[in-house]
Amino acid sequence: MGDAAIIEVKREAGLVAGRASFWRGNRWFRWVAGGVLLALVAVGAIVAVLLHRIEPMLRASIVAELERRFHARVELDSFQVSLASGLWAEGKGLRIWPPADHPKDQDLSSGTPADRPGDESAAAAYHSDKPLIQIDEFRFHAPIHFEPGKPIHIPVVELKGLNVDLPPRTHFSHGSRGAGALNPGHPLPGFRVDSIICDGAHLTMETSKPGKQPLEFPIAQLRLTSISESGAMEFAATLTNPRPVGTINSTGNFGPWVVADPGESAVAGDYRFENADLGGFKGIAGILHSTGHYEGTLRDVTVDGQTETPDFRLEPFDKPLLLTTKFHAKVDATNGDTWLNPVDAMLGRSHFTATGQVVRLPAAGGGSQAPAPYEFGGRDIALKIDVDRGRIEDFLHLMSHTGTPMLTGALTVNANLHIPPGQEAVYKRLSVKGSFSLDEAEFSSTKVQGRIRQLSLRGLGRPGELKSADPKQVSSSMRGDFQMAGGVVTLPALSYTVPGALIQLKGAYGVEGGTLKFTGTAKMQATVSEMVGGWKGLLLSPLDHYLKKDGAGTEIPIHINGTREDPEFGIDFSRLRGNKSTQPDTKPQDEQTGEQPAANGPQ
């Protein structure tokens, strides 16, 4: 063995002897270390025991507190507690059922009724097809210490998978005796919660009306603050509206919770509806923005708001126009039926008001069997329209492929409008029946306006001014009743007046193709000879006696055919000879089928 090896062996032997000497001289340290280890084991055992006792106690407290507040059966599938950095609790499968009759002295504090022997009948009494409130997961953090007799303070409760299914009013018509005090077998701590936050909630408002489908509200984010058992809570919510698709942000107050019928719980708040795409509705398009205030109960809400759609348009024309509205509405939140009273609107430069209703109708043959997107029938719109300060060009602009309306002028309308659900374009489903007046009317076509100027000058007996007159210097007016259906506007009695002439027409106008088909009479102030003038007028003077009628200098049967871009005016000579049987049909043919479209208004 070398010197180096001998030195290494001696060094290791010295270290061992040193350690043994340290433990012999410091036995107290071994006792302290052992005591600490035993203390840690004891603490761990105590924590385990505490957790074992706290978990069922807190679970029972949560169930009892919820049953007391909701007066209903409560179920909780699992509950776990951790004491890392305070008390952390997590539960899964929480269900709160609608309130139902149960004995006032029933013990509900130690779990769900079905969990305890002899409570099967109570569980049956609580039976409902769906829970009132269902939560997939919840968690909260609270301080470990709490004072007996005082509630445990929980700053925030986090929820995942919150689903609220509110039964119809008839479900609660029997009342609930569940409002009686619960009878816990042992004292349990209560809770004081500052706020509740939830991602991904869903509210379903059930209805008892035959043929109606429940109304559903998917809520992306929800935050409740100022939690109070007997007062109102503050809320902030973000919703994704299904139709029209858009985001709704709302803040307000909710509560207090009405145990006997939660649907009667008060709600009030303000909303902002952004970027709502109207393209989800067949036949219309545009991006809508809306703000407003609402108040009422969960089932019945009154809304006051305003909307703005900068690019409102009808398909297939796609000619946008600014549409703004202010409205007062009552909404049945169980099915979305809405009563408007009134809507104050501006379309371009035209002002009009509307009153009426928008209701959901079931599909023929049964709700879910109907093809998408009208699986449940769709919206049925019935409105009374009053256009008091309108411009005809605004309304014609929406139904023009070129964007240039055929006519301008001041318009007033009183009409009833009906749009049933369906898959055709709006203008084909739209039916309107009413009366209108149009003043200061001018045609955009120079050719047509020139014909109107000629008609006026000849009717006044001033044919000598035909070459020098400016067509824009003459305006006309119209009065009449109308009805629209199937994309065809029918005018059974139209009076068209220009200086020197009164034209009375009946006929129809095709909205999509712009076809015209009218017949009527032209009553001139001047006689035939005065209308023609010169030597030709002298030659026609014998006809003056035959063409005078009902105080008019001249009455001539006429017709107007063609299209709005290229109208054709002419004298109906067959009727001039008294042969009324050859009077042409006044309904324009459908451009695609060649058939006569229906022109009946709403019943």
- Average of per-residue pLDDT values in the chain: 76
Q: Tell whether the model's pLDDT for residue 551 goes beyond 60.
A: yes
- Token pair of 220 as six digits: 């992306």
What are the helix (H) ranges across 430-480?
Answer: 446-459
What are the helix (H) ranges across 334-476?
Answer: 392-398, 426-429, 446-459
- Token pair of 302 as six digits: 């009154």
Instruction: Give the confidence band of 530 by pLDDT, cuts at 50, 70, 90.
Output: confident
Instruction: Look at residue 124 in the predicted model and tell me its pLDDT.
Output: 38
CA atoms of 339 and 383, how far apart (whole Å): 10
**CA-based nearest residue to 176, from 99, 65, 79, 253:** 99
Instruction: Look at residue 387 in the predicted model and tell me its pLDDT.
Output: 95
CA atoms of 580 and 593, how far apart (whole Å): 28
* pTM, to two decimals: 0.71
Instruction: Give the confidence band of 405 by pLDDT, cuts at 50, 70, 90.
Output: confident
- Token pair of 417 as six digits: 């409008």
Higher pLDDT residue, 218 or 179? 218
Q: Mean pLDDT throughout 508-535? A: 83
In tens, the pLDDT along 76-125 reads 998 888 776 777 889 999 999 887 644 333 333 334 333 433 333 333 33
Percentage of the chain lying above the pLDDT 90 cut:
25
**Bond from prior residue into 342 cis (ω within 30 degrees of 0):** yes
Burial of 8 from C-beta contacts in 10 A (0-12 / 13-18 / 19+): exposed
Instruction: Look at residue 217 in the predicted model and tell me its pLDDT.
Output: 84
Higher pLDDT residue, 122 or 261? 261
Higher pLDDT residue, 553 or 350? 350
- Token pair of 192 as six digits: 């004081």
CA atoms of 272 and 289, how far apart (whole Å): 8
> Cα Rg for the chain, rounded, in angstroms?
41
Instruction: Look at residue 112 in the predicted model and tell me its pLDDT.
Output: 39
CA atoms of 336 and 154, how far apart (whole Å): 37
Q: Tell whether the model's pLDDT for residue 273 goes beyond 70.
A: yes
Higher pLDDT residue, 426 or 491? 491
In tens, the pLDDT along 332-373 reads 888 788 999 999 999 999 999 999 998 877 765 554 444 433
Instruction: Look at residue 28 in the predicted model and tell me its pLDDT.
Output: 53
The 3-state DSSP class for residue 283 equals coil
Instruction: Look at residue 346 in the predicted model and tell me its pLDDT.
Output: 96
Q: Mean pLDDT throughout 283-298? A: 92
CA atoms of 452 and 448, how far apart (whole Å): 6
128-132, 215-219, 263-267 — which one is most confidently predicted on average? Answer: 263-267
Instruction: Give the confidence band of 146 by pLDDT, cuts at 50, 70, 90.
Output: low
CA atoms of 558 and 540, how far apart (whole Å): 19
Lowest-pLDDT range of 198-202, 287-291, 401-405: 401-405
Instruction: Give the confidence band of 14 by pLDDT, cuts at 50, 70, 90.
Output: low
**Bond from prior residue into 244 cis (ω within 30 degrees of 0):** yes
Lowest-pLDDT range of 307-311, 396-400, 548-552, 595-599: 595-599
Burial of 570 from C-beta contacts in 10 A (0-12 / 13-18 / 19+): exposed
